[in-house]
């Protein structure tokens, strides 16, 4: 296929005019974003969110079978869609009352069907309703019958010393840019490695669902 674009600024054209695309001097196509990066998939109701919006303590989690993460999504076999992770967030609300360290990570991999009955329906980011997602969400409950995770991505570390104060490293929103795909028959969990005394957290997972 041959693309024939114009190098430099095209002649002025009014509404509904047909114009050629633009190119750089090395033959590169020049494009610009009309909307935000995730506008189209969100507007088409393919973007979903699961969050802890009321600060809560976490249970120590390191990807073990049937563990209790802060948040998790399970994409059941036969769902017909991939869950493509875009963003994850984590934030400390109440500081720990005793010395300690906790690291937060995403744990993911294939799994046996998770049978935990206490579930959370993900929010559709386009409609702002809890509907439309093929995945099952979990918030601070054991992933009953779930398998151990085979992969991990470290996100944030929190250190508290009662006499010295606290430091939270890389706290905030992490853009995964779709690098993690949770296919049918797999899950992804956001968890902290330790349950520090009195510490509470908020956090979220946001993903796009794409037909397989």
**Assigned token pair, 25:** 């001097």
**Assigned token pair, 75:** 């994409």
Domain boundaries, the chain: 1-32, 39-211
Which residue did the predictor score with more confidence, 56 or 165?
A: 56
76-123 tens-digit pLDDT: 999 999 999 999 999 988 888 888 889 999 999 999 999 999 999 999
- Give the integer Cα–Cα distance in Å for 109 and 79: 16
Cα–Cα distance list, 44 to 47, 113, 142, 208 (Å): 8, 29, 32, 10
Alpha-helical (H) ranges within 62-124 are: none
Q: What is the pTM of this model?
A: 0.86
């Amino acid at each position: 296929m041959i693309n024939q674009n114009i190098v430099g600024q095209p002649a002025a054209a009014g509404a509904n005019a047909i114009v050629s695309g633009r190119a750089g001097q090395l033959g590169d196509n020049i494009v610009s974003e009309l909307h935000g990066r995730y506008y189209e998939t969100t507007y088409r109701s393919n973007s979903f969110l699961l969050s802890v919006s009321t600060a809560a303590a976490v249970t120590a989690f390191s990807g073990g079978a049937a563990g209790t993460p802060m948040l998790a999504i399970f994409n059941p076999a036969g769902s017909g869609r991939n869950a493509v992770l875009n963003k994850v967030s984590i934030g400390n609300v109440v500081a720990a009352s005793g010395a300690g360290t906790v690291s937060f990570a995403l744990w993911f991999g294939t799994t046996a069907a998770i049978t935990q009955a206490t579930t959370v329906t993900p929010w559709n980011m386009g409609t702002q309703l809890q509907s439309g997602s093929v995945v099952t969400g979990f918030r601070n409950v054991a992933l009953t019958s779930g398998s151990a995770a085979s992969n991990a991505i470290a996100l944030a570390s929190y250190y508290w010393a009662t006499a010295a104060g606290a430091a939270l490293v890389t706290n905030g929103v992490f853009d995964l840019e779709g690098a993690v795909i949770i296919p049918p028959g797999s899950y992804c969990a956001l968890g902290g490695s330790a349950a520090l005394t009195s510490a509470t957290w908020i956090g979220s997972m946001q993903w796009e669902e794409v037909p397989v």
